[in-house]
Structure 1
Amino acid sequence: MIHFEDVSKVYENDGKELRAVDHVDLRIEKGEIFGVIGFSGAGKSTLIRLVNLIEAPSDGKVLVDGRNLAALPKPELRKVRRKIGMIFQHFNLLESKTVYQNVAFPLSLAKVPKKEIEARVTEILEFVGLEDKAKQYPDQLSGGQKQRVGIARALTTSPEILLCDEATSALDPQTTKSILDLLKRVRDQYNITILMITHEMQVIKEVCDKVAVMENGKVIEQGTIFDVFSNPEHPTTKNFVRTVMQDDIPASILKQVEGRAGGRHVYRVTFLRETAGEPILSKTAKNFDVDVNVLYGQITELQGVPFGNLIVELQGEDAEILRAIHFIQSSVAVKEVVADAG
């Protein structure tokens, strides 16, 4: 659906070059919710503006349905752009117009007949849960309601692609979740491909199928949500994942462990898929002469798949601990965090 082929975007300022997007290769398939995450200045906002040619690439190609947008004649480009909706961080609503008029605005510009506009706007307002707000003005709405108006407006032209530019960063956590649930319904009911940029890893975890991590204009890591969250490789990706998947041992607990006498080892145990429900640590304690102490961790879901990340301490003789670790490794991934024979 959307394909970035070795795409770069370079700006010039006082004779100096700023490479906002640097040789990016990405493929977003039809019907996916694809997230792009990065810190401020990573290049993600520039990247999303290349999709509808608000910004033209300096090098490479941006293909939408196999068509190079930069090579299209203006009439053809306008047709393609009508199939690309956009949702903004600060809503970009017309304050002097009602909710109904805001949602109808793209259709009015396209000179769609009044009866068709009325039918479409009524349908979309009902879909986003704002049918009772049609006559109200933006300043009478909450932030979440304003964003629902923005989503409704983007949907009126029956887009095939929806671009979300930090669409939830101005919202509180509860409202953010409701908007993300709405975006999932948009994808599922209308089969719309969604490309969203954000600096919040929780947003990526909640709604996306795949993610790309950007830094200094480059994509430094990409993959499915499950793969990236369960096994992040780049340090920046690991930092993002830690914001929603806490796996560092609290200093107070680590101090207690380090102060104990006798043989002990601390490990990170990763449970994937069906193993998340298996009593592996309980079996270890029963079958081997070791004490198993869970220090820290959590069990969560990634794309509906159970994922567990636990920090455990094994106490006992080194040889017996080694046997226990081999047993655990037969079912799940194990990585040593701290080793101290005392």
Structure 2
Amino acid sequence: MIQFKDVKKEFGSGDTIIRALNGVNLTVEKGEIFGVIGFSGAGKSTLIRCVNLLERPSDGEVFVEGKNLLSLSKKDIRETKRKIGMVFQHFNLLNSKTVFSNIAMPLLLANTPKNDIQARVRELLSFVGLEDKASHYPDQLSGGQKQRVGIARALATKPSILLCDEATSALDPQTTDSILQLLKKINSEYDITILMITHEMSVIKEICHKVGVIEDGKIIESGTVFEVFTNPQTDTAANFVRSVLPDSIPESIQALVENREGDSRVFKIQFIGQSSGQPLLSQVAKKFDVHVNVLLGNITELQGIPFGNLVVELQGRESEISRALMFIHQEKVTVREVLPHAG
């Protein structure tokens, strides 16, 4: 559906060249919600703008539905771009036009018959929940309502691809959630492929099927949301994951553990799937002469699969801790020691 092949993008000239994209290779399959996450300046916005040629790559190839955009005629580019809708961070609505007119604008530019425009705009107003706002102006709307207008406008020409450029970063958390639910609905009911960029890992966790991590103009890691969240391969991805699934012990607690008298070891345990619902630590406390101290814990759901993180301290004789550890290893969970052996 969307494919980047060794895409580069440079700005400037002479000694002041900035390389925003530095050999991007990425594939977004039809029907996916694919998120690209990265820090400011990583190249996210440039990447997404290359899909509809708001930015033209300096080198490489960008394919949309099997067509290399950089080899198309101007006429073919126009036709292809009609299949690509875009939702912007700051809405980009025309304040002098009503909600109805803002949504109708792409249809007017495409010379759509008036009756068809009326029907399509009414349909979209209903879909995004703004039936009663048709005659309102953007200044009369909340941020979330403005973004719903922006989404309806992006859907006007019945695109097969929707690009979202930080579509929720200007919204409060509750409104963000409602917009994400709307994007899910668009993906499932209209079978539209969504490519979105964001700096919020919570957005990736909530809505995306796959994620790519961009840094210094390159995709440094990609995979399913479950793969990247449960086993990040780069420090950057791990840092993003920690923003929504913290796994670091507070310094004050760590100091107490390190100064504890007697044998004590601290482990991080990951629970996946059915193991998340098992009373593992309760069984450890009953079977072995150890005290189990939970220092940190969270459980969430990733793509419908339960996933839990626990950081636990096992206190007791070293021989009992070792026996307990062997038992834990047999229970199909991932275990690793996170603090040096104390005692």
In 2, Cα distance between equivalents of 1:65 and 1:169: 29
* CA shift for structure 1 position 116: 0.5
In 2, Cα distance between equivalents of 1:99 and 1:198: 26
In 1, Cα distance between equivalents of 2:3 and 2:217: 17
Name the residue aligned to 1:309.
309
Name the residue aligned to 2:16.
16
Q: How does 1:202-241 map onto structure 2 within 5 Å?
A: 202-241=202-241
Q: Which amino acid aligns with 2:273?
A: R
Q: Bigger shift: 91-100 or 247-256?
A: 247-256
Please state if 1:337 is matched with 2:338: yes
Q: Which amino acid aligns with 2:160?
A: E
In 2, Cα distance between equivalents of 1:297 and 1:51: 40
Q: Bigger shift: 53-62 or 262-271?
A: 53-62
Name the residue aligned to 2:47.
47
Name the residue aligned to 1:140.
140
Q: Which amino acid aligns with 1:99?
A: V
* CA shift for structure 1 position 322: 1.2
* CA shift for structure 1 position 341: 3.8
Name the residue aligned to 2:108.
108
Name the residue aligned to 1:77.
77
Q: Which amino acid aligns with 2:274?
A: E
Give 3-state SS (helix, strand or coil) of 1:292's partner. Answer: strand
Name the residue aligned to 1:189.
189
* CA shift for structure 1 position 93: 0.3
Sequence identity (%): 64
| Count of paired positions | 342
In 2, Cα distance between equivalents of 1:198 and 1:341: 41
Q: How does 1:93-172 map onto structure 2 within 5 Å?
A: 93-172=93-172
In 2, Cα distance between equivalents of 1:337 and 1:76: 56
Name the residue aligned to 1:269.
269
Give 3-state SS (helix, strand or coil) of 2:340's partner. Answer: strand
In 2, Cα distance between equivalents of 1:83 and 1:197: 19
1:216-245 CA distance string (max 9 Å, x none): 101111111011011112111111111111
1:293-331 CA distance string (max 9 Å, x none): 111110111112100001000011112111111111122
* CA shift for structure 1 position 11: 2.0
Give 3-state SS (helix, strand or coil) of 1:340's partner. Answer: coil
* CA shift for structure 1 position 339: 2.8
Give 3-state SS (helix, strand or coil) of 1:338's partner. Answer: coil
* CA shift for structure 1 position 32: 0.5
* CA shift for structure 1 position 14: 4.3
Q: Which amino acid aligns with 1:255?
A: A
In 2, Cα distance between equivalents of 1:306 and 1:121: 40
RMSD across aligned positions (CA): 0.9
In 2, Cα distance between equivalents of 1:6 and 1:297: 41
Q: Which amino acid aligns with 1:160?
A: S
Q: TM-score, with normalisation over the residues of structure 2? A: 0.98
In 1, Cα distance between equivalents of 2:23 and 2:14: 23
Q: Is the Cα contact below 8 Å between 1:266 and 1:337 reproduced in 2?
A: yes
* CA shift for structure 1 position 251: 1.3
In 2, Cα distance between equivalents of 1:227 and 1:263: 35
Unaligned runs of 5+ in 1: none
Q: Is the Cα contact below 8 Å between 2:128 and 2:182 reproduced in 1?
A: yes
Q: Bigger shift: 3-12 or 154-163?
A: 3-12
Q: Which amino acid aligns with 2:337?
A: E
Q: Bigger shift: 320-329 or 205-214?
A: 320-329
Q: Which amino acid aligns with 2:285?
A: A
1:36-65 CA distance string (max 9 Å, x none): 011110001000011011112222111111
1:143-201 CA distance string (max 9 Å, x none): 00000000000011000000000100100000000000000000000000000001111
Q: TM-score, with normalisation over the residues of structure 1? A: 0.98
In 2, Cα distance between equivalents of 1:341 and 1:200: 37
Please state if 1:33 is matched with 2:33: yes
Q: Is the Cα contact below 8 Å between 1:264 and 1:339 reproduced in 2?
A: no
Q: Which amino acid aligns with 2:307?
A: F
Name the residue aligned to 1:296.
296
